[in-house]
Structure 1
């Protein structure tokens, strides 16, 4: 039940502008991922063959007035590295294990999106109470029988480093251990995530 990195979540207040800016910074244009129920859509870039970077924002095709709450998009003013996910092939067992070790990952919920080609992707994940809060502890995701997005021929970047910043690194390490997950943690006044990417235009830091 060891969990491994599935994807990083980079939230942007305007999806089209955010993807354009990302492409200009990195020299890599992410691939359209598709739309989610609830008013969000995403673009993806691979981080190798088993993980990816998700750029998520309000769906430009959503009905007028839709205000998605996922990852704080409802009030987001500028892009931020908002969350990360670890993959497990038995999400229910992993949640039970984490709770037995003193950390509650949240309830398991189903989610889906349809790709631009019309393929329906379905998965299950854990959700926490405040969608606007940056969480240095990952959420869990289980793709079940769905093919993993990283295997779909995405444009590629290399993840050089990924770090969490937290006021109490020891407490964060305990929560990560409950998920059987390891991450470098630096001490800082506020919770944050930082990823350094190797791109055709040089090193790019997302935070």
Structure 2
């Protein structure tokens, strides 16, 4: 299972509205619009409990194509994929320092923001997550500060039954996770992947 500090899972899709519709058809739960990010992406959200959620992220249909730098990678996806995950440490800066002392650099902490559909500005800080379409079994760190956590906003919800990573060198991945102080089930396999099983009104749904 995943670390108890799990903040959210990232499900990357090449077409945001089509990806949301496909998820709703498979899960029996309609994700809620989250908002737009700088760089041309936008998201829809599904709750995984009181402090975690699933983020469906894809190219923002309303964004100017000239500003969709980050969205370009997503548009090249052949199929949706579970691409990343985030944890929320008690102190994000202290967690970065500790990880570096143990030999793993999660990247610098940087501010980010997005606007919700009603115009509310949400602001947070997070460590490096440069390629939204690339599967990364190492989580990034996030700190919501004074911004209310998205999972507390009354999202439509499902239950996260299991979450794990697959990696050709599981011992190496476990070592990096330990340096970050993070827990995750890791299985050996030929390609790097993340896999989550959700309990939904339509039965178990596997995202990978």
Give 3-state SS (helix, strand or coil) of 1:29's partner. Answer: coil
Q: 1:180: which partner in 2?
A: 181
Task: Give runs of ≥4 in structure 1 deviating > 4 Å.
Answer: 128-132
Work out the number of aligned pairs and report it.
Answer: 206
Q: CA deviation at 1:65?
A: 4.2
Give 3-state SS (helix, strand or coil) of 1:73's partner. Answer: helix
Which runs of 5 or more residues in structure 2 are unaligned?
none
Which runs of 5 or more residues in structure 1 are unaligned?
none
Cα distance in 2 for residues equivalent to 1:4 and 1:158: 16
Label 1:97 to 1:160 Cα distance change in 2 as closer, same or farther (>3 A).
Answer: same
TM-score by length of 1: 0.94
Cα distance in 2 for residues equivalent to 1:70 and 1:127: 17
1:27-66 correspondence runs (5 A): 27-66=28-67
Contact 1:3–1:87, Cα closer than 8 Å, also in 2: no
Contact 2:12–2:133, Cα closer than 8 Å, also in 1: no
Q: CA deviation at 1:176?
A: 0.8
1:164-179 correspondence runs (5 A): 164-179=165-180
Label 1:3 to 1:178 Cα distance change in 2 as closer, same or farther (>3 A).
Answer: farther
Q: 1:97: which partner in 2?
A: 98
Cα distance in 2 for residues equivalent to 1:4 and 1:115: 24
Contact 2:70–2:131, Cα closer than 8 Å, also in 1: no
TM-score by length of 2: 0.94
Cα distance in 2 for residues equivalent to 1:194 and 1:83: 10
Q: CA deviation at 1:131?
A: 4.8
Q: CA deviation at 1:36?
A: 0.6
Cα distance in 2 for residues equivalent to 1:107 and 1:78: 31
Tell me how large the CA RMSD over aligned residues is: 1.7
